[in-house]
Amino acid sequence: MILYVRSRRTSSALLTILVSYGAIWALSRWMDSPASSLHLAPLALAVGVAVASGGLRGFDRELDRTAAISWPPLRTLHVTAIGVVVVGALAAVQSIGGYQLVSNEVVLRDGIGLTGLAALGVTVLGTQLAWVPPVVLTVVTMLVPPADDAWTHVITWLVQPSDVTAAAVAAVVLGLGGTLAYVAVG
């Protein structure tokens, strides 16, 4: 029964991710502006991570604490799977549609950072509010005016080109830090 319920939730989450990605991709085609593409791609990923982050929880806290299996590898696999699905789905929508919002390198970087941020959100805020950090960061990034200094590159890492090192470092730190926090604390 639990597997049936979980598979229905997973199917619903995947369908929601694909539909939202398709809608955001269509919106970007309609707007037809490079600046809007830079902002809509992270928004799509934030929506995908927000939807998928609801699965970063166990069914029973006592069972999680007393189970005879090692949870850290399973938690690592779960966060990794969410990142792969979120990044892969956006790359697939861009490929099938024949129009790229941003390069696949940027999709991968942003997906890693936002997935880690959601894992950190689960650790700090709990499962029901895990979506808040990735969505809030994405909205703040969309509102910060562009500037050409290192701190702005770190703050707005989501909308930086793929060759900006500070953006890649920020994404990797968030991705690894969030995943490690989730794996350690659960």
Q: What are the structure tokens assigned to 136, written together?
A: 């809030």
Contacts by residues 124-130 (CB-CB < 8 Å, ≥ 24 positions apart): 124/181, 127/53, 127/54, 127/56, 127/57, 128/54, 130/50, 130/53, 130/54, 130/56
The structure's pTM equals 0.86
List per-residue pLDDT tens for the chain, 186 residues long: 344 345 666 778 788 888 887 888 778 777 766 666 677 889 889 999 999 988 887 555 666 666 667 778 888 998 999 999 999 998 988 888 777 888 899 999 999 999 999 999 999 998 889 999 999 999 998 888 777 777 888 888 998 989 999 999 999 999 999 999 999 887
